Every structure is written in C-alpha cells, then in structure tokens.
Amino acid sequence: MTRKVVVVGAGVVGAACAFHAASAGLDVTVTDRGPVGAGTTSRGEGNVLLSDKEPGPELALARLSRTLWDEAGQELGPDTLELEAKGGLVVASGAENLAALQEFAARQEAAGVRVERVDRVRDLEPHLAPDIPGGVHYPQDAQVQPVLAAAALLRAALRRGARFHPGEVAGAVTGRDGRVTGVRTAAGDVLPADAVVNAAGTWGGEVGRRLGAPVEVLPRRGFVLVTEPLPPMVRHKVYSADYVANVASSDAGLETSCVVEGTRGGTVLIGASRERVGFDTTMNTAVVARLAAQACRLFPFLRGVHLMRAYRGFRPYCPDHLPVVGPDPRVPGVVHACGHEGAGVGLAPATGALVTAHLLGRPWRGADPAAHTGLLPDRFLTPGGVPQ
Amino acid sequence: MTDPADLIVVGAGPAGLAAAATALAGGLRVVLLDSGTALGGQYWRHPPEHARAAVPTDDLHHGLDRYRALCKALAQHRTSGRLDLRLEHHVWSAVRDGDGFAVHAVDRHEAPRETAVVVRAPRLLVATGAYDRQLPFPGWDLPGVLTIGGLQALLKGGGVAAGSRVALGGTGPFLLPVAAGLAARGVEVVEVCEAAHPRAWLRHPGPLLRNPGKWAEGAGYAAALVRHRVPLRPRAAIVAAEGGERVTAVRIASLAPDGSPRPGTERRVEVDAVGVGWGFAPQLDLLVPLGCALTDGVDGNAVVAVDEGMRTTVPGLYTAGETCGVGGAALAVNEGRLAAASVLADSRATRVPADKHLAALRSAVARQRAFARAMALAHPLPPAWSSWLTDETVVCRCEEVTAGAIRSARADGAHDHRQVKQLTRAGMGWCQGRMCGPAVHCLTARRGAYEPAERLVATPVTLGALADLDEAPAGTTCTADTACTAVTACTAGTTGTVCTQASTDNGETDKECS
Ligand SMILES: Cc1cc2nc3c(=O)[nH]c(=O)nc-3n(C[C@H](O)[C@H](O)[C@H](O)COP(=O)(O)OP(=O)(O)OC[C@H]3O[C@@H](n4cnc5c(N)ncnc54)[C@H](O)[C@@H]3O)c2cc1C
Ligand SMILES: Cc1cc2nc3c(=O)[nH]c(=O)nc-3n(C[C@H](O)[C@H](O)[C@H](O)COP(=O)(O)OP(=O)(O)OC[C@H]3O[C@@H](n4cnc5c(N)ncnc54)[C@H](O)[C@@H]3O)c2cc1C
C-alpha cells in the first residue's frame, strides 16, 4: 500500500492533493521550486464554474469539486478561501445565440446542473446593455481567491502532518522493478516516496518527462483586466454565451469572450483571452482592447471606468482539453494531476480527492476512480504504453 | 509630420527634452509624448502655457536658460514639422511592433474625454524619470502629509504652497530646494529633518571634489535656509503625524546610528502640512514589460541596465535620466544627449555628434553618476526605519493593509512584495504598489534591490478608449500634424506614423469573435 507521497507543485491543485491525501492519513511531502500558489494559480480568476462545461468527464469532476469546495469552506472557514457562491449569468448576444444557449443549458440540466432560464436579464443585472435578448442563470457558479485557497489548503495539510520541502524536482528514483522509490531535487536531496503526484500545472509536461512519464501539457496564454474599485455594479459572473463555444474550441488563433464580475475589493474583473503562443510573455494590446470592447458591450457603463491593471498567465492544457488525472501505466507510482486549462481552480478539490482515491485504491470523499476513467493518462497511450 | 517618425521619446523632463533636441538636431523625425501640460518634467515643472503669466514661478527654478534653449529648439522643429509634440498624452503601454515599437497613449487634453493614440517608430527612448520613495509611519495617510516631490510640483506647477507651517523629513539633498522654495513663498518651514549625518559624505570625497557645481548648488540652498531661519536637523526623522481631518502635528525624534528613534528624544511640533521624501524610485513601468534587464542601483532600487551609450538590453530601446538611478537634472540632460547620440549612430543618421563631443559627454556622465552614487551612499534608508511602525500602521493606503498584516504574511512564508500582494492585497489598489512597493519590499525581503512588480498598464485608461482601439479598422493610419481626432479623419494606407481613434458612442459594430 502507498504510504509516502510526494506532491510536486504547490499550486491550487497540488495543495488540494496534499490536503486530501493528508486527510486520508497518508504521509505527504509537498515540494515546489517557489512559494505556494505562485505559478498559474496566482494568474487565474478563481471562477468555480459549472456553467461553461458541457456534459462529459470534466463536468462530472466539476460537480464533485463544487461540493468539495463547499466542504473545504466549512472545514477551513469560507473567508480563508474567499469562497462566494454568487452564481453565474450567461447572456446571449442574439436570438440564434439564445436558442443555442438554451439547448446547451438543457443538456447540462439533464447532467445534474441547476439552470434557470432568464428572459429579463436586467432583473438580475440592472446595468447590462438593454438589447440583450436573454440568458441562463447558474446558481451553483461560485468563486474563490486562488492563492488564498491554495495557501489555506496547504496550511491545513501541514496541520494534518504533511511537510513542505522547497526545491525543484529533477528526476525520479526508481527501484529494480521500475517502481518509483523517491524523487531527486536539483539540490541533490532525495525525497523517499511510494508515489509521486505530478501537480506541476503548465510545467506538468516537463515534470512528467523528468519522472520518466511524459505527458503533453501545453501553455495557453490568457489576459485578465482589472478596473478601478467601484461601488457594486455587477452582482454575478456575467459571460457572453460565446464563452461556451470558446472553452470547447481548439482553434489555434486568438479567442476572447469576456467574463465580467465584481470582486469584494470593488474592482471589476474582465477575463480572459485564449491564445496559443507558447510561453510568450509580451503584452498584447490588441487582446486587451478586444476584452475591453466586449466588456463595454455587455455593460455600457464600463466605458467610463478605468482599467487599472492587466495580467496574464499560461493555462496548462492537454491536446484534448481535458485534465490528466490518474496513475501512469509506464512508471508505477507516478500519478498525474495536471492539464486543467482554464478550470484548475474550480477542479482542484475533486482532483485532490480523485488522486487520493487512486492512491488508496478506493473511493475517497465521493471520488470514485471508476467514475472518472475519461481523465486517465491511458487515453494518450497505445496499449504498449507508447504515446500516440 | 507626414513621414514616419524615426524615434519616439516618452517623457519631456530634462532627459527627454535633451534627447529630443539632440535627435532633431541630427536630422531625425521625433514624436515626443508627456502626460504633463507643459515641457520640463519634475525639475522644470511649469504651469500650463496659458497660466504662466498669472502664476510666476521663475524664481523657483534653476538652469532656466538651458530649459528655454531646449524649448526654443523644439519649437523650431515643430514648425518645420519634424517634431510631433504630444503633451497631455499618457502612455499606458509600449510594445514591440515588427522591427520597431508601438507606443499606446491616451490623449487627455479634452479630459474627461480620452482618445486612444498609437504611435510607431523603429526606435524608442523612455525617459519617464522617477517618483518619490515613501516610507510609512503612523499618520502618514492623514490629509496634509505629502511627498516632497508633490509639494514641489504644487509650487512649481501652480504656485501653490500646501500649508503655512510645514515640516519636511526624509533623506537626501532634494529636501533642501523644496525647503528653500517654500520659504521663498513665505511658508514657515519649521524644521527639516535629515535622517543621515552630513559626515557620511566624507566617506566618498572623490566624486564630491570632481563635481564642484553640485557643491555650489548645495551651498546656495543651505544659504537660503539660513537666510529664512529654517532649522536643518541631521540624524532626525518625522516618526509620526497626528491630527483628525488633517495633520495638525508631527512627532520628531533623533535617530540612533541604525535609524531607530533615540528613546526620550521625541518632540511634538505643530504644523499644517508635512513633506516627506526618502529618495526616489525609478519609473520603470513602460520598460519592464519590454523585457529590458535591470541592475541593482546603490540606493536600493533596481534601475535599467544600460551600456555607455544608454542602450538598454532590448535592441532599439534607449533610456536616460532617473530611470537609470537618481542623479539630478544636469545628469539627466547629459544622459538624454548621450542616448540620442546613440540613436543617431544606430540609425546611421547623416549628422552624428563628433567623437570629441561624445567623449566629453561620456566623461561628464561618468563623473555625475559617480556623484549620484556617493549621494545615494550618504543618504541610505535608515536600516531600522520599520521600528517606527506599529502593527496598526497602514502600509498600503489603497487597500488599507497594515504593517501587522504584512508581518504575518511574511511569517507565512511570503518573501517578496509580489507574494505579499497575493496574500494581503497590498499593492493591488489604485496606485498599484507604486507608493507602498518599496516599503513592502523592505519589510519582507530585507535584502536585494527593490524591483517593481511588472505593470502591463502603466497608467489607468478608460475601457471606452480601449474599446475604440479595438473597433478602429486595422492598419488605419493618419498623419500626425493634421488635427486628426476621429477615426473617420484617418486616411487608410498613408505612410503616417500616428493613428488616433476618438471615443465614439456608436461603436457597437464590432466584429463578432467566434
Ligand atoms: C488568465 C487565466 C484565467 C484563469 N481563470 C480561471 C478561473 O477563473 N477558474 C479556474 O478554475 N481556473 C482558471 N485558470 C486556470 C487556473 O489558473 C489553472 O488551471 C490552475 O491554477 C492550475 O493550477 P496548478 O496547481 O495545476 O498549477 P500551478 O499553479 O501552475 O502550480 C504548479 C506548481 O508547480 C511548480 N513546479 C513546476 N515545475 C516544478 C519542478 N520541476 N519542481 C518543483 N516544482 C515545480 C510551480 O512552481 C508551480 O507552483 C485561469 C488561468 C489563466 C492563465
Ligand atoms: C523634490 C525634488 C527636488 C529636486 N531638486 C533638485 C535639485 O535641486 N537639483 C537637481 O539637479 N535635481 C533635483 N531634483 C531631481 C530632478 O527633478 C530630476 O533629476 C530630473 O527631473 C530628472 O529628469 P528626468 O527627465 O529623468 O525625469 P523627470 O523630470 O521626472 O521627467 C519624466 C517625465 O516623464 C513623464 N512621464 C512619466 N511617465 C509617463 C507616461 N507613462 N506617459 C507619459 N509621460 C510620462 C512625466 O510626466 C515627466 O514629465 C529634484 C527632484 C525632486 C522630486
């Protein structure tokens, strides 16, 4: 049985893995080359969404995760996570778009998502543009503050006996049978382990390679805009319905469809674009302008509001836009938990529970490995274990 | 100006003015942008042209001959059409654009209306100066507590004295001209608290002896203070401000060598305004996102790394003046000239400065930089300044984050201002950490130079102006000397350099994103 677990990565996903594994009584060491939550977790918006997911493996994980965020909130205190169940409002840009949205929502409802048709969107969001024909309200959509959440989950894991070991993972130590017996850090330390969890986010591809179990995880750049603080004007997470199309798309070019929401601090967040440009960090003013234009179309009052800040990050995505969660058949002991793209914050607790279930060999906190086979790394491998 | 520009200069302070003048004299076409209403930057700040007669400020200035000569040179080139001068243009981003640069600004000369403007050129010179470095202390967020730069800007830019009984504190020689300027306007400067000891200068006598002009400048201010009976207290600091609606008093203490207040020396002094300055932090917001390398400056700030011709590590990108570290206006002027000389050489201009002239310029800059280094070493931040703080002292004013919250983030493992920001929101507010960044850095990192967080948006800009940028047809350009303020006035396809998009309210025709 697995006793000693090393989690590589202290982003929100690694922290959630550590939290659940430590809660299950495993001996957990978390290692990261930087501080908690400083990777992509510090670049995300913290949406915990069901609304943007079509029925399938990701929605199943998201539904579990939504429940587990509530449980984490109860255990750790909702304020430590800034967990807020504010609900999402997806609005249509035209009659055709509205029909597509309603059809999409009906399928989600059949998969267990709570949806409410909204004909008069301004009853929910008084400052929306007057010409919006309608939308769908998703009361389960919520948000957390990603870095605070990661820090709180990690702190709780440490209270439950986990350790934090700063360092960069350089490779795996394997026994004669090819099983992992530990990880080696760049500083030369060896952390003994029966299992290693690859929770390295956007760098999960590289960490997988170092562990002898390569998976393809690619960066997808996103910009987020933050306005000056305002009195509350936007109550929900408000998205245009083409968000739904973008998330599922695999087009190479730029995609933007803005998500607008107010924060506790009074700022309005507008996110996020999607571009496949590798790890290119340069500012793209055209993308920023496009996001601004879309936000102003949803909420005309924003035209007079100042943009105060913009930031960007690199979402980790797998070629099929699903996370890779589960044991790698090539190197016994390696368990992947990465590639969550634009939903890693939302999906973190369920990922942590699912990883723990894989480690225990039995369901854990509602996560049953048998119910999430669509996320296994096997899908990228031929029966002989060779990447397809 | 109908031909494309060769060079964009951002910042019309001493460095940017000198750079633009040299580049123009060398035959280049230049676009010069500044957010201010007049040329001159911090040092030669003036009221806007139309208000000059009503607000005389000449007596507050030094080196006005040079300023006027620079302004005159620029005016001639404006007439000839080779200078495109854009005041009240706030640059919010500078990005690479093909082989050159695109500079994004908003034109606020009809504020509150904002118009997005894009300027393009193969070379870019950023001379955005520096801003006051602040250290928090109890009461520093009271109305009436200002930076010395702010006090000086009010005085030079509008002839306004911020109070009638003013105490100044901090460190560095720039406290003196502010005290002298206030005194000249009849303000009672009750005390000037200098945290350092003048003896510190004697540790680096070389640069002092090689810069007699600086001596004379300092002596002039000192004489002015004596004349106005302004007491100058070395090794003292304003450690607290008191008041209700507004500041009414400060607490002043003598400092031990480590900068902690000497017990029992605290005095209460009544005032109606306070000016504080702990040196300056370079304004790097446009430079950092372009990826140019920084280096540690002696004053605890990261500054731009440049070669001896003021080239940054990014090809085509130059900088001059306080972005390379604080050193005064004369140095900024010389660096501006030097940077422009490099631009001329690199763009193979026909009229480049003679080698002899360049050599003289380089040696002047080296001499003045050495002086700036000696100045920084003589006026360090007091190591124990944080002993003035209580746990309740607000450090980040915008988000109201206290010293206690920052200390506990540090205990949680945050070891720089970026992580503190994630955990406490310090630096997430309106000023984006420009004010509290250096202090948070000192409170958490304790070592290494302060490197500002990357700010992709250098100055707040309305979403409406940005939206119009998106809605303008791609590739639309217009000529810069025509008063082109609306999209429709732009002629597509001309080889102009400037594209202006006006805020329109019927811009709802955006292409759909699929
Ligand atoms: C603009 C933008 C908006 C987003 N909005 C949302 C949103 O609203 N909702 C949502 O759910 N998601 C959102 N996301 C996505 C979300 O941020 C990510 O999916 C999530 O943060 C991934 O978390 P992680 O823990 O897997 O990765 P990370 O947070 O990147 O953590 C990985 C960690 O691994 C460490 N690491 C890497 N290599 C090594 C090594 N060799 N040794 C040691 N440590 C290593 C890194 O230092 C890092 O700390 C957004 C992302 C972006 C870019
Ligand atoms: C209180 C005080 C007293 C001083 N006393 C003296 C003295 O006695 N002797 C001396 O030699 N020096 C003195 N100085 C220093 C002197 O002011 C500077 O050395 C000099 O102004 C630096 O020139 P600069 O061109 O590098 O920057 P600045 O003069 O600061 O000019 C920078 C310009 O860039 C513009 N700018 C910045 N960002 C943007 C943007 N995003 N978009 C558009 N425009 C932008 C600003 O508006 C400004 O006009 C003093 C400074 C202060 C604050």
Mean pLDDT over the full length of chain A: 92
Q: At A203, phi and psi to the nearest 5?
A: -100, 15
Ligand 2 center to B226 CA (angstroms): 27
Mapping DSSP to helix (H, G, I), strand (E, B) and coil, where does residue A107 land? helix
Cis ω before B409 (30° cut-off from 0): no
pLDDT number for residue A281: 87
Task: Specify the higher pLDDT residue, A172 or B428.
Answer: A172
pLDDT number for residue A256: 62
% of chain A residues with pLDDT over 90: 82
Nearest ligand, CA A225: 1
Q: Which residue has the CA at smallest separation from atom 50 of ligand 2?
A: B174
Range of lowest pLDDT (A26-35, A46-55, B484-493): B484-493
Q: Angle B66-B107-B103 (CA atoms, 0-180°, nearest 5)?
A: 80
Q: Average of pLDDT values for A134-140? A: 96
Q: Average of pLDDT values for A144-166? A: 95
pLDDT number for residue B15: 98
Q: Average of pLDDT values for A23-45? A: 94
Identify which of A35, A152, A226, A42 has the alpha carbon closest to the alpha carbon of residue B430: A226
B14 lines ligand 2 (CB under 6 A): yes
- A229 CB neighbours in chain B (<8 A) are 429-430
- Do residue A285 and residue B95 have CB atoms under 8 angstroms apart? yes
Strands (E), chain A: 4-8, 27-32, 47-48, 88-91, 116-118, 135-138, 142-143, 163-166, 169-174, 180-185, 190-192, 195-198, 218-227, 237-240, 255-262, 268-274, 306-317, 324-327, 334-338
Q: At B245, phi and psi to the nearest 5?
A: -65, -30
pLDDT number for residue B500: 34
Summarised one tens digit per residue, pLDDT across range B84-96 is 999 999 999 999 9
pLDDT number for residue A245: 55
d(CA B84, CA B88): 13
Range of lowest pLDDT (A111-120, A374-383, B136-145): A374-383
What DSSP line would sit under A42-96, residue for residue? GGS--EE-STT--TTHHHHHHHHHHHHHHHHHHHH-HHHHT-B---EEEE-SSHH
Asked if residue B178 lies in contact with residue B152, where contact means CB atoms within 8 angstroms, the answer is: yes
- Do residue B467 and residue A292 have CB atoms under 8 angstroms apart? yes
Task: Specify the higher pLDDT residue, B218 or B438.
Answer: B438
Has residue B210 got a pLDDT over 90?
A: no
% of chain B residues with pLDDT over 90: 67
Has residue A361 got a pLDDT over 90?
A: yes
Has residue B508 got a pLDDT over 80?
A: no
d(CA A312, CA A344): 15
- Do residue B467 and residue A293 have CB atoms under 8 angstroms apart? yes
Identify which of B170, B127, B163, B142 has the alpha carbon closest to the alpha carbon of residue B36: B127
Has residue B226 got a pLDDT over 80?
A: yes
d(CA A274, CA A251): 10
- Do residue A283 and residue B95 have CB atoms under 8 angstroms apart? yes
Spatial CB neighbours of B124, under 8 Å, sequence gap ≥ 6: B7, B8, B10, B94, B100, B101, B103, B316, B317, B318
Identify which of B327, B325, B331, B332 has the alpha carbon closest to the alpha carbon of residue B301: B325
Q: Locate the ligand 2 atom nearest the alpha carbon of residue B336 and give its number.
A: 25
In this prediction, the answer to ipTM > 0.85 reads yes
Mean pLDDT over the full length of chain B: 87
Has residue B491 got a pLDDT over 50?
A: no
pLDDT number for residue B502: 32
Annotate B443-460 with b (16+ C-beta within 10 A) or e (fewer): bbbeeebbbbbebbbbbb
Q: Which residue has the CA at smallest separation from atom 49 of ligand 2?
A: B41
A219 lines ligand 1 (CB under 6 A): no
Instruction: Give B199's pLDDT tier (boundaries 50, 70, 90).
Output: confident
Has residue B498 got a pLDDT over 70?
A: no
In angstroms, the Cα distances linking B6 to B77, B80, B90, B343, B351 are 14, 15, 20, 9, 14
Summarised one tens digit per residue, pLDDT across range B132-188 is 999 999 999 999 999 999 999 999 888 888 899 999 999 999 999 999 999 999 999
Annotate B106-123 with b (16+ C-beta within 10 A) or e (fewer): bbbeeeeebbbbbbbbbb
Instruction: Give B295's pLDDT tier (boundaries 50, 70, 90).
Output: very high
- Do residue A290 and residue B399 have CB atoms under 8 angstroms apart? no
Q: Average of pLDDT values for B291-303? A: 94
A197 lines ligand 1 (CB under 6 A): no
Q: At B274, phi and psi to the nearest 5?
A: -135, 140
Q: Which residue has the CA at smallest separation from atom 3 of ligand 2?
A: B174
Q: At B488, phi and psi to the nearest 5?
A: -65, -20
Q: Average of pLDDT values for B256-270? A: 95
Task: Specify the higher pLDDT residue, B4 or B118.
Answer: B118
Chain B: which residues have CB within 8 Å of chain A?
Answer: 93, 95-96, 102, 104, 112, 289, 291, 399, 412-415, 418-419, 422-423, 425, 428-430, 432, 455-457, 460-464, 466-467, 469-471, 503, 507-508, 510, 512-514
**C-alpha distance from B465 to closest chain A C-alpha (Å):** 7
Ligand 1 center to A182 CA (angstroms): 24
pLDDT number for residue A13: 98
Instruction: Give B111's pLDDT tier (boundaries 50, 70, 90).
Output: confident
- Do residue A283 and residue B456 have CB atoms under 8 angstroms apart? yes
Summarised one tens digit per residue, pLDDT across range A225-255 is 999 999 999 999 998 887 555 544 444 455 6
- A36 CB neighbours in chain B (<8 A) are 413
Instruction: Give B40's pLDDT tier (boundaries 50, 70, 90).
Output: very high
pLDDT number for residue B473: 58
